[in-house]
Each structure stands twice: as C-alpha cells, then as structure tokens.
Structure 1
C-alpha cells in the first residue's frame, strides 16, 4: 500500500523534531515543507486552524488524512506503523513513556523553552528586540533542574523510560537539541545525560536535524559534532 506523506514543520521547533525523529526511526519516507508559522501562512491554517506545527498529511488508497501537532501524529504512527515500537511493549513502559512525553511538552517547554527559545529564537524571528537577561537566567536555572532530574533517571535506566529506546527519548532529545543549537546546555555538568544524548544523536534518524540551519540563527560550534 503506497502512502505519500508531507510534513509541514519548522526545523527548530521541538514538536516538529519529535515527529521527524519518529518518521526516520520507522523509516517512513516523507516530503518536508518548511513553514514560517509566525507569519500565519494560509496553507498551514487551512490544514490546522491553530496555525501550529507540525502537520502530517498522508495521501493513500483510502484518501487523505491530516494529522495536526505532534501527539496526534505520534499516536497515529505508533498505531498504523507499529514496528519498531516506540512506546514500549509492556503497559508500564508505555505509561512511563507517555508520562515523559507530557513532561517535556508541558513542563520542560513551559519552564525552559518558553524562556530560552523565546528570548534567543522567537524574538529574532519576530523582530522583538534583544533578549532579556532575567528571562535567560530563569530559563537556564530551570534547565539545570531538569538536567538533574534526567541525570537521576539515567542513573538507573538505559533509556529515559526504561530498557528500550522510546518516544520519550525522542521528545527529550528534540527539546534539548534546539536548546543545544544555541549552545545553552551545560553538558559537562551532567555526564549521564551527555552520554545518552550522544547515543540518540548518533542514530541515523537524527542526521537531518544536525544539518538544520536557519538564516540569522547560527548554531553553536559543537552542534553537529557527534563526539562533542
């Protein structure tokens, strides 16, 4: 059964990156369309009234399916393309993976991304002026708290949610990779998290993310280095 997929995304959006990683890990080919979501393009609004990325469109024998935003897309990919399984095989593993997905998309994004990415990325894209030092400091302090929590998890586990790679790892790596693009992750102070991230970063599905660049937003020098 032939299915043509188109992913509407922004390269430095953590939610979009989660979907790209899952598609790559499952070896599902897709055409990518980069969208400037902050400009509220009509093409994106017609697919997703919220105007948010990512959006995955699948055209197949049964017609067109439009999936809006990362949780709906990830659930669909697990349901329709179950191998390799990225939520875990046991109920407890799936529950923990889902918990961490929520952790990154809500708590981490609110406490870290909403400060660091807003100040360093969104303000530039929207031409809102220079970053506020107080906001950057707050985001960096919260990042350290989250890194400590991940260090604690990885002291007892091979992967974030347990013994196997899961969507929780892709969620964590997606969020941290965008922060790392701007050079704000204190890797040296969290060796277990660094080792885990290097392992995820070395997977074939991660390679397209390492090639991401955006005009006016240069990455840190180590961003695409697998052995940083």
Structure 2
C-alpha cells in the first residue's frame, strides 16, 4: 500500500494529496508529528519535513518533486501542460504560492494560530498575524487579476498551480482567514475546485481543538 506521511493542515501535504487523488492513486494517510523529530521519521527524511510519499518501493520527499514524479508516472489527467511556455507558467505559480504566499501569508496566519498551539511553542505573535492578514488581500487581488484573463490560474486548463493555491487557501479557510467576498473571481474558482472529487478528503479533515467552520465543507459556501 502506498503511504503518505503528512500533517492535515500542511499546504505542502495537501498539494500532494490533491495530485494523488486527481490521478486516482490510492494512498494510506499517516499523520506524522514531525516536530517531535522521532528517529524513525528522521530516517525516512533527514530534513525532518513532511510530506513523505512511500510509493513504488521508494521514499519520496519535497512536495514539488513528488508532484513532478507523479506527473511523469501517471500522466493522465495532466496537471502540467504539454508546451514549455505553459509548463513554465504552472511552475512559476507553484513557486509563487509555495514560496512568496507561504512566507507572507501561511506562515503568519496558519503557523501562528495553529502550529504554535499544536507544537506547544507559545502564543501567536500579533504583529505576524496582522502582517499575514494584510498580505492575503494582495494575493487574493493578484489571483483575481489572473482569473480575469484565464479560466484557471495558469491557463484554460486545471493544473498543479491551482492545487498549490487551493492547498494554501483551504488550510487558511479552515481557520476562517480567507475573505471570500473580496474577489468574485477567486470565490468562483475556489467553488469549482473544492467541488472536485479530489477535494473530498481535504474537506473531511478534522483537527482536534480546531473545529471546522460551518462553511468549510459546504460546496456552495
């Protein structure tokens, strides 16, 4: 059985979960408390990070590399375009969300509000939370601008860029940190993507101590 060692609200784990589900690759989810730095976990990945995917007799790490591996092993349905320009744009946006969005928004909101409590690492820093709440507005506006010109974030077909963005936003939506009324394009995009069968396990996540908001699993918001 394929196994994915993950943390439910990690956007990097969620991106891999969405790719696996979209490609109908069955996997057993194993929650990993990576911050405890268990020796067995560190043997799987000395970097001490999730996700880790056990598949095809291998242990794969780093979410972007895992997703590219899945694309090559399971090319249908495609999450990367065939043309170099299209592939570039998808990769650019995956990097945007996993780097810029993560550093400016996810780490300031999700990590402060949830990860610190779960890890016993103290209380949220209000200045970081305020910075994240300000930055997410800019990112939602940028997504709205992209969606003014395209059906999906990177073009006219669903791609890994959409899953990268949805992985971050769904984690933040779980803690009520996304203003879906800010941009109609983004709201409509998220409604489409969260209605996909691949999103079902994401919407079923339950985090002890952090109950789902009423709208989280509602396909009509």
TM range (shorter): over 0.9
1:19 corresponds to which residue?
16
Per-residue deviation at 1:123? 1.2
Distance 1:8 1:127 in 2: 21
Report the equivalent of 2:42: 45
Q: 3-state SS of the aligned residue for 1:8?
A: strand
Aligned to 2:133: 140
- Per-residue displacement from partner, 1:122-154 (whole Å, max 9, x unpaired)? 111122333232221110100001001000000
Alignment of 1:83 onto 2:76: yes
**Selected match of 1:149 from 123, 139, 142:** 142
Aligned position for 1:202: 195
**Equivalent residue number for residue 26 of structure 2:** 29
Q: Could you list the runs of 5+ residues in structure 2 that have no partner in the other structure?
A: none
Aligned with 1:212: secondary structure?
Answer: coil
Query: Secondary structure of 1:89's partner?
Result: coil
Which residue in 2 is equivalent to 1:176? 169
Show CA shifts across 1:23-82 (max 9, x none): 0000011111111111112232111101100011114xxxx2111020111010011111
* Aligned counterpart for 2:85 among listed residues 83, 92, 117: 92
How far apart in 2 are the matches of 1:134 and 1:73? Answer: 34
**Per the alignment, in what secondary structure is the counterpart of residue 187 of structure 1?**
coil
Number of residue pairs the alignment of both structures matches: 221
1:54 to 27, 51, 55: 51
C-alpha distance in structure 2 between counterparts of 1:127 and 1:93, whole Å = 43
1:101-116 alignment runs, 5 A limit: 101-116=94-109
Which whole-Å deviations, capped at 9, do the CAs of 1:155-204 have from their partners, x for residues lacking one? 01000000100000000000000010000101111110010001000000
SS, match of residue 213 in structure 2 = coil
- CA–CA separation in structure 1 for the residues paired with 2:122 and 2:184: 35
In 1, the alpha carbon distance for the partners of 2:14 and 2:41 equals 17
**Distance in 1, Cα, partners of 2:121 & 2:45:** 26
Structure 1 distance, partners of 2:171, 2:58, is 29
Q: Which runs of 5+ in 1 are unaligned?
A: none
